[in-house]
Structure 1
């Protein structure tokens, strides 16, 4: 159960995924005594492990695009950022570029405007340029997105897509769990402590102030601040004590399946692969190690997504219907794609807000903070988000409003408003998942 000293910390972080580990690293570097606890036995065993690991710089708003670009600079210098020596295995960023097809939804225009405002480089490609670089894609317009059992889904297309945006600097991390492990090891080198297989059952309060948390074994941890970054378990922990009562934006737990499909014979994705953002067919794919594709749905444009009420009742097995419809959509874009007999993929439980933006904020209780709604969109920004959360925690503990003071990214010195990630924001002003 630990001694009194072992059970105390300046900051208690609930959750050892990539966001919690990044926050632990940033706070420990700043001199805080940090204790991280996680219900799982391994680091990054929750939503992080089921992430697609895509590192992209396009977004619907300038601040999100700029934050992704600042994080990309870290991914490009991952070992140096961690302070890891040459013997430590570290996650590898693979640059493959992102191709964002113009599906006529307005997303491409918004993304281009956001990248221009953020001074993030991109290219506008014509149909001929797309076809020249990626001849294995069929660039006909198949949309708007329809269920695969709709006869219109199989009708012969008559129009071609007009073009796309291309960001050469984008890519992916093939092992998101290893990235979380790297961050936690870096935090531990700075003095942070970690307890695995340690479920938190209650956040503890004295009046309107947090004082720590109670564990499943009945022991109590005490801290000046508690940051809950527990993925799909965050909402239930915080709402159980009324901590989400003033939230204007709501989160949901979504069952997300990523399918794994081998590339057609003769196609080498190490040379010709790209991260495809296809709003026309409602799919999002990237190359995967082993000359395969990994990806899934862009969101809830076609089939209603499966919302899970109880995160402990989540089934992590690949389902035949989701696997089939996702693979068939990819096969429309890649005519030579074979449909394998074995259904393989990754299934995760995502914590997502209604506007697909994360919540990095305090709560109505002093000293209680959340990092939530990060699944599916924020793996790419995780290295910078740790520093952003340090800013939020330190500013609020000092009695100041973090949304009134800009966060300065350590990689670029660029200024960010944390109000965009506030629990009190207008959810109608969020961004599309892309």
Structure 2
């Protein structure tokens, strides 16, 4: 293949995380010539690799819940969805259910309403039913969540939580990076090309149109469409050319710590584990291999978020403060939990919007598209999001407004309005990371 052919594509995707890989699969399967580049040496080595890999169906709004449920169909039939043969090592979806404790903030009510509207099944449990199914949880009300060095944190609670929502179909993928690799392998089977260890210096525009990208080594890639799916690096690449000038919703880069804590003696999480969503203590944990918990913050408290300006400069180690906050809060909910001395976990940088909804849209430049603000919430929807991005790109390249035409999910035929994910939306009020 000549250099000119190698440096041209119909669609250039910047970013080989789970979203970029899924878009590559959907576009290549639809017959497009796709080239994917990533600054890392491996697929899924960025934000995807530091994801908790949770596949949940509860959300603050109907469309997000429905999209997660439609994606769950793909996760449950992963090999068939990918068209992979029996020899390929695949990421495994583990069903454990999600338990969303009612912290009295109104989130449980919004999530229940969203799932009803989306026709997603769930159960409403009293505190007695929670205790019957998960007796190792202390169901006292400890919140609202406060600093662990505050005397109030250690005061004896007198009230109990009202109950919880339970979604038995939810679970997690223990190896999110492998899931991205699987999607990229599927994309390559459909003809997509991949160039790892390739850093984009800038997106190139001519007049009002994106025409490709210039790499750090000075070489250029040319394309009819560019999809920016570079996680925490997306904002700087887009804003450098003024592509975020008309965005009405802000994005930011949040440093996220996931801590790894062994389960108490006698508790078998393979049999008794659950994905815990605890707004009362602002924690979110799931079972992990080795009979342990993996998790951290719910992400709802702005004062506990660490916003990073430079995505290449952040502390990649679990900090003493983050470790103590997450583990001690979990220990309040699980009194028999032991706190190990060694701090182990995963630290990553999340690309998130102020309303925790993603941005799947074109920009003010023709031919330039973005999949931004997906970290920490959209791993679960990645299989269907690839198809949604294909719809956005194909519709706009054909000269039509993608927000005026519904996207039909391939797993269910359900219709979605892509306007919810527009860069021009007013930030949604009451949205939660969940």
Q: Distance in 2 between matches of 1:57 and 1:302?
A: 24
Runs of 5+ in structure 2 lacking a partner? none
Correspondence for 2:202: 202
Structure 1 unmatched runs, 5+: none
Structure 2 Cα separation of the partners of residues 367 and 303 of structure 1: 38
Instruction: Identify the residue that residue 237 of structure 2 maps to in structure 1.
Output: 237
2:393 corresponds in structure 1 to 393
Go from structure 1 to structure 2 and tell me whether the alpha carbon gap of 1:251 and 1:302 turns closer, same or farther (over 3 Å shift).
Answer: closer
- Alignment partner, residue 344 of structure 1: 344
**2:10 matches 1:29:** no
Q: Give distance in 2, aligned partners of 1:34 and 1:249.
A: 29
Determine the structure 1 residue equivalent to 2:56.
56
Give the whole-Å Cα distance in 2 for the aligned partners of 1:284 and 1:11: 37
SS in 1 for 2:304: coil
Q: Distance in 1 between matches of 2:51 and 2:381?
A: 13
Do the aligned partners of 1:145 and 1:302 also contact (CA within 8 Å) in 2? Answer: no
**CA displacement at 1:318 relative to structure 2:** 1.1
1:110-133 superposed Cα distances (whole Å, 9 cap, x missing partner)? 000000000000000011110010
Map Cα deviations across residues 137-179 of structure 1 (whole Å, 9 max, x no partner).
0000001111101100000000111100000000000000000
User: What is the CA–CA distance in structure 1 between the aligned matches of 2:163 and 2:9, rounded to whole Å?
Assistant: 53
| Inter-partner Cα distance in structure 2 for 1:283 and 1:340 | 18
Structure-1 separation of matches of 2:89 and 2:18: 16
2: distance between equivalents of 1:275 and 1:264? 16
Runs of 4+ in 1 over 6 A off after TM superposition: none
**Mean Cα deviation higher: 294-303 or 62-71:** 294-303
Partners in 1 of 2:276 and 2:171 — Cα distance?
11
What is the CA–CA distance in structure 2 between the aligned matches of 1:154 and 1:247, rounded to whole Å?
43
Q: Deviations over 1:388-431 (max 9, x none)?
A: 00000000000000000000000000000000000000103462
SS of the residue 1:138 aligns to? coil
Q: In structure 2, what is the equivalent of residue 82 of structure 1?
A: 82
| Cα distance in 2 between the residues matched to 1:387 and 1:299 | 28
RMSD: 1.0
What is the aligned partner in structure 2 of residue 326 from structure 1? 326
Deviations 1:48-79 (A, max 9, x none): 00000000000010110000000000000001
On the 8 A contact 1:147/1:302 being kept in 2, the answer is no
The CA distance in 2 between the partners of 1:304 and 1:92, in whole Å, is 32
**SS of structure 1 residue aligned to 2:428:** helix
Q: Is the 8 Å Cα contact of residues 356 and 430 (structure 1) preserved in structure 2?
A: no
Residue 308 of structure 1 and its aligned partner are, at CA, apart by 0.6
Check conservation: 1:234, 1:372, Cα contact below 8 A. Answer: yes
Equivalent residue, structure 2, for 1:357: 357
1:95 and 2:111 correspond: no
Superposed displacement of residue 281, structure 1: 0.4
Report the count of equivalent residues. 434
Given the alignment of the two structures, is residue 309 of structure 1 paired with residue 309 of structure 2, yes or no? yes
Matches within 5 A, 1:364-379: 364-379=364-379
Closer/same/farther in 2, CA of residues 302 and 19 from structure 1, 3 Å limit? closer
Show the counterpart of 1:219: 219
Is contact 2:202–2:237 with CA below 8 Å preserved after alignment? yes
Distance in 1, matches of 2:144 and 2:397, equals: 49
Note the C-alpha offset of 1:314. 2.0
Report deviation, 1:305: 1.0
Task: Give the SS at the match of 1:45.
Answer: coil
Distance 2:254 2:430 in 1: 18
Partner of 2:348, secondary structure, is strand
The within-5 A match list for 1:87-126 is 87-126=87-126
